[in-house]
Amino acid sequence: MYDFTYHRPDSVTHAAGLIANREAKLLAGGMSLLPSLKLRLARYSDLVDLKSIQGLRGVTRDGGTLIIGALTQHAVVAASDIVRQAIPALAVLAGGIGDPLVRNRGTIGGSIANADPAADYPSSLLGLGATVITQEREIPGDDFFKGLFETALTPGEIITAVRFPIPERAGYVKLPHPASRFAMVGVFVAKTADGVRVAVTGAGASAFRFRDAERALGANFSPVALSKIAIDPAGLNSDIHASAEYRAHAIGVLTKRAVAAAIAA
Which residues form the interface with ligand FAD (CB under 6 A)?
25-33, 50, 70, 97-98, 102, 105-107, 109-111, 113-114, 119-121, 158-159, 180-182
**In the complex with ligand FAD, which residue's Cβ is closer, 42 or 230?**
42
For ligand FAD, which residue has the nearest CB? 110
**In the complex with ligand FAD, which residue's Cβ is closer, 109 or 167?**
109
**In the complex with ligand FAD, which residue's Cβ is closer, 85 or 180?**
180
Distance separating alpha carbons of residues 78 and 84, to the nearest angstrom: 8
CB of 263 to ligand FAD, least distance (A): 25
**In the complex with ligand FAD, which residue's Cβ is closer, 36 or 192?**
36
CA-CA-CA-CA torsion sign (261, 227, 240, 203): negative
Q: What is the strand order of the sheet 208-209 is part of?
A: 169-176, 183-192, 195-201, 208-209
CB of 49 to ligand FAD, least distance (A): 9
**In the complex with ligand FAD, which residue's Cβ is closer, 120 or 214?**
120
Question: Which amino acid is residue 250, in one-letter code?
Answer: A
CB of 225 to ligand FAD, least distance (A): 28
Pick from 254, 64, 239, 250: which is nearest to 165 by CA? 64
CB of 107 to ligand FAD, least distance (A): 3
**In the complex with ligand FAD, which residue's Cβ is closer, 171 or 217?**
171
Say if residues 202 and 229 touch (Cβ distance below 8 Å): no
CB of 109 to ligand FAD, least distance (A): 3
CB of 119 to ligand FAD, least distance (A): 3
